[in-house]
Amino acid sequence: MIKTKGFFARIVEKSREEFVKLIQKALKKTGLDIKAPLMKAILAGLSERDETADICTDVKSNPEPDPDLRDTEQIPFTRKVPEKQAIDEYIKREVNPYAPDAWVDYPKTKIGYEIPFSLHFIKCTKPLLRWK
């Protein structure tokens, strides 16, 4: 995840934790004490995405989702199986062959229905031909 730019240009660090330690060490030498939002901004400015880097984890060692890779799916439901089971089956069948590390964030799942208005409310009529 981390390839550095600017004054750290000679260092390529593949671990975010190690990169944060390098930044904190440099800031400590200057006597600066920064808060978390500023550290996040510094990380965003001095780093770039790297597919070969270590996976970034949160405090509980869970992998962090990459917002650039976030996607949505419209999943057809049937009345035969519960919604969560339908989602799991769809992801396993349609998504995992192409993105094996994909997963569903169930608290952010929205359930709704699509109503095709043109199918249900518009009646097709033959066009009137008026020219001779």
Query: Where do the structural domains in the chain lie, given as residue ranges?
Result: 6-65, 71-121
CA distance 89 to 29: 54
Q: Give the pLDDT confidence score for residue 1 in this predicted structure.
A: 44
111, 74 contact by CB (below 8 A): no
Query: Which residue in the block uniquely carries the two structure tokens 């400015």?
Result: 45
Secondary element (H or E) of residue 44: helix 36-46
Q: What's the chain's average pLDDT? A: 82
Q: What is the pLDDT of residue 58?
A: 85
What is the radius of gyration, based on Cα positions, of the chain? 25
**How far is the CA of 41 from the CAs of 4, 64, 93, 102, 122, in angstroms?**
14, 17, 39, 27, 52
Average pLDDT estimate for 39-43: 88
Report if pTM > 0.85.
Answer: no
**The pLDDT of residue 119:** 80
